[in-house]
Amino acid sequence: MKTIVVKFGGSSLASAAQFRKVGDILRADPARRFLVVSAPGKRDSGDTKVTDMLYRCYDLAVAGEDFVPALEAIRARYGEIAEGLGIKFDLDGALAPIAEHLRKGPQRDYMASRGEYLNARLMAAWLGWTFLDSAEYIRFHADGTLDPDTTYKLLGAAMAQTEKAVIPGFYGADETGRVVTFSRGGSDVSGAIAARAVKADLYENWTDVSGMLFTDPRIVPNPSYIPFINYRELRELSYMGASVLHEDAVFPARRAGIPINIRNTNRPEDPGTLIAAQAPAGTVIPPVTGIAGRKGFDTVLVEKSMMNSEVGFTARLLDIFAAHGVPFEHCPTGIDTMSVVVSADAFRPHREEILAALEADLKPDLLKVEEGLAMIAVVGCGMVANKGIAARILGAVTAAGVNIRMIDQGSSELNIIIGVREEDYETAIRGLYKEFH
């Protein structure tokens, strides 16, 4: 029989009514045997996610302030869900160790993880499914990174022995049992890990939109959905800010060749976006699959005549950034020029030392920093087969009245990155959407 791992995000689990939709979706296909849950999210735009309420409790406890009202508000969120579902759930019993933990020098990741923990227990009680605590099966190294070998062994064995289980997302634990979380939105990663551990046929990621959008809905109203996207394209888009799926959720699924289907809990009839290595037969591949971007970059321009004949010049240049712990994002080069695009947050604290080192080591003719750039990735594996896409991209941005500061075409021909001034970012995205849509 087929096995599907399903993950529901916070907004899909924010209330009893949302839990019921989840129940309907699970019942509609018996292959949906493993359910990974987030903490309850926002019920409406003015609401607060339970994870944020837990961080607040932690902050209050650490500051020595009264956390009881904040914890009560969390109890109320779960109480409302349990009551709405009409189930008996021992909330007092489940919350008592959390209150106790807050009194005795709390640990931040542990506190954050309780949102998923409580939600999974509540869901398991309602569905009558087994509860598998991720702290026992998802293992982190002491440095906070995932230990995949141990995780797949432990989690795979537990899932193989279970017919139907609810698994809390977002966290695991290290060897000593100390809880460790992924970064925000990390339940997507837990879901992908569970899918790989059980060698699932499909990983369904249920959220509040009907799939991956062609571009950011905050910039372009009602952009269309992407019916199919391959793992590599998705990686490029999510790295650049298309935030429907946590960027680290792609690796486990891709490694195991498990397709991901992004679906809408509120519109289960919509097919959503399918993510896999190869498009199903008959799929029309467009020249551009999607557009994403981010603000917050600086560029360091280094000019030196005959730079290309100086052996090791590029390596020395990038070493200086690396020595200060600043990764570079892009590095377009000319014959006598090189630009290093860096995240402003990473670069600015080390700016003066890096510039001084570049000056001293490389003796450039010119060294210039341009601040406040946005990078836009135009992504699509169909670019290779379609002539003139680069020209259309540049034409569309220029026609929108935006000056292009940088162009970088990745050697994979999967994407073209363009740099524009931050204030031109939205205009450029709108221009591109119009051209490719």
- List of residues contacting ligand ASP (CB under 6 A): 9-10, 38-39, 49, 51, 115, 169-170, 184-188
Applying CB under 6 A, among 25, 179, 193, 213 the residue interacting with ligand ADP is 213
The three-class DSSP label of residue 172 is strand
Phi-psi region of 311 (alpha: psi -120 to 50; beta: other; left: phi over 0): beta
Q: How far is the CB of 207 from Mg ion (least distance, A)?
A: 6
217 binds ligand ADP (CB under 6 A): yes
The three-class DSSP label of residue 347 is helix
Applying CB under 5 A, among 168, 172, 185, 272 the residue interacting with Mg ion is 185
Of residues 52 and 371, the one with the C-beta less far from ligand ADP: 52
Q: How far is the CB of 168 from ligand ADP (least distance, A)?
A: 14
3-class secondary structure per residue, 361-425? HHCCCEEEEEEEEEEEEEECHHHCCCCCHHHHHHHHHHHCCCCEEEEEECCCCCEEEEEEEHHHH
Of residues 191 and 286, the one with the C-beta less far from ligand ASP: 191
Beta strand residue intervals within 277-393, DSSP E: 290-303, 328-330, 337-343, 366-379
Q: From the list Mg ion, ligand ASP, ligand ADP, none, pick the one residue 170 interacts with, judged by a Cβ distance below 5 to 8 Å according to partner type.
A: ligand ASP
415 binds ligand ADP (CB under 6 A): no
**Which DSSP string do the residues of 8-35 spell out, in sequence order?**
E-GGGGSSHHHHHHHHHHHHH-TTEEEE
Of residues 85 and 226, the one with the C-beta less far from Mg ion: 226
Q: What is the residue type of 8?
A: F
Identify whether the C-beta of residue 164 lies closer than 8 Å to the C-beta of residue 34: yes
Of residues 9 and 287, the one with the C-beta less far from Mg ion: 9
Applying CB under 6 A, among 61, 127, 197, 209 the residue interacting with ligand ADP is 209
Helix then strand count (H, E) for the chain reads 15, 17
What CA–CA distance (Å, rounded) separates 219 from 424? 12
In the shown chain, the binding pattern of residues 155 to 194 toward ligand ADP, with x for contact by CB under 6 A and - for none, equals: ------------------------------x---------
Of residues 10 and 252, the one with the C-beta less far from ligand ADP: 10
211 binds Mg ion (CB under 5 A): no
What CA–CA distance (Å, rounded) separates 409 from 131? 47
Of residues 60 and 414, the one with the C-beta less far from ligand ADP: 414
Task: Give the other-Cβ count within 10 Å of 193's Cβ.
Answer: 30
Residues that bind Mg ion (CB under 5 A): 9, 185
Binding site for ligand ADP (CB under 6 A): 9-12, 38, 41, 185, 207-209, 212-213, 216-217, 242-244
